[in-house]
Amino acid sequence: MANENNTTSQGERFLKIFSAVLIIINFIIAFLVYPKLPEQVPSHWNFKGEVDGYSGPFAGAFMLPLVLLGCYIMFWIIPRIDPRRANYMKMGRVFWIISTALIVFLSALYWSTIAIALGYMENLPPLIYLGSGLLFIILGNYFGKIRFNYTLGIRTPWTLANEEVWYKTHRFAGPIWIIGGLVMVIAGFLPSFWPPVIFVISLLIITLIPMVYSFILFRKIDDTN
C-alpha cells in the first residue's frame, strides 16, 4: 500500500510539473511570436471550418497561455475548496491526468492557431476533431475512477443528489465516451462535409445518453426507497 501511494504521489508530481513546464513554454512562444503576428489572428471557426472570428496580435499570442495559467491555478485550488475534497485524495493522480490532458489539448490548439496565423498551416478543424476525440477517450477511460465531487465529472441534478447514481452513471458513460472519442478521431480523416456533422452528433450522444441514464437510475432508486 505504501509503495502504491508513493507511486501515485510521484506520478501526480510529474503531471503537475509537466503541466507547469508546458504553460511556461506557451508563454515563451507567446513572447517570441507576438512581434511577428499579423494584425488579425484567427480565433474562431464556423461549422464549415471557415474562419469567422479574429483577434488582435496581443490576444492571439497571450490569451490562451493566460487561460491555461488560470486553469492550472484552479486545478490546484479546486481540490482544497470542494466540499468533497477528501475524495480527491482517494482519486490519486486521476484528477491530474484529466487536468493535464486538458492542458495538452488547449496547448496543441494554441500552437496550431499560431502556426495558421504565421502561414505554416492552412486548416485547424481536423486537428480539433482529432484532439477532442483523444481527450474524450482519456476522460472516458478514467470515468470509473472519478470519486463523487462537485467539480469534475458528469454533474447532473441526479448524479449530484445520489452517490450511487454518480458512480453507476460514470461507469456506464465511460465506454460511451471512449467510443464517441474514437468516432471523432476517425471523423478527422473524412472529407470536409462529414467531420463537423459526425462531431456534433457524437457530442450530443455522449452527453445526452448518460444524462438520461442518470435520471432514469435516480427515479428507479428513489421509487425503490
> How would DSSP label each residue in 58-71?
HHHHHHHHHHHHHH
Q: pLDDT confidence of 222, banded at 50, 70, 90?
A: confident
Sign of CA dihedral 211, 78, 180, 175: negative
pLDDT of res. 129: 87
Q: Which whole-number Å values give the CA distances from 118 to 43, 122, 124, 131, in the listed order?
A: 13, 10, 13, 21
Question: For residue 7, what pLDDT is reported?
Answer: 56
What is the reported pLDDT for 192?
76
pLDDT given for residue 84 in this prediction: 86
pLDDT band at 8 (very low <50, low <70, confident <90, very high): low
Q: How confident is the model at residue 184 (pLDDT cuts 50, 70, 90)?
A: very high
Banded model confidence at residue 110, pLDDT cuts 50, 70, 90: very high
For residue 83, give the nearest of 163, 157, 149, 161 by alpha carbon.
Answer: 149
Lowest mean pLDDT among 16-20, 115-119, 220-224: 220-224
**pLDDT class of 193 with cuts at 50, 70, 90:** confident
Q: Residue 51: pLDDT band by 50, 70, 90 thresholds?
A: confident
Closest to 116 (Cα-Cα) out of 128, 105, 104: 128
- Domain definitions of the chain by residue range: 1-122, 124-225
| Predicted pLDDT of residue 121 | 80
Decide if pLDDT at 29 tops 90.
yes
- At 55, is the secondary structure helix, strand, or coil? strand
- In the structure grid, which three cell numbers stand for residue 101, read together? 490532458
Q: Is a pLDDT exceeding 70 seen at residue 1? A: no
Sole residue written with cell 452517490 = 163
CB count in 10 Å sphere of residue 147: 20
pLDDT attached to residue 125 = 67
pTM: 0.86
pLDDT of residue 5: 55
Least confident of 4-8, 29-33, 102-106, 215-219: 4-8
What pLDDT sits at residue 116? 87
pLDDT at 45 over 80: no
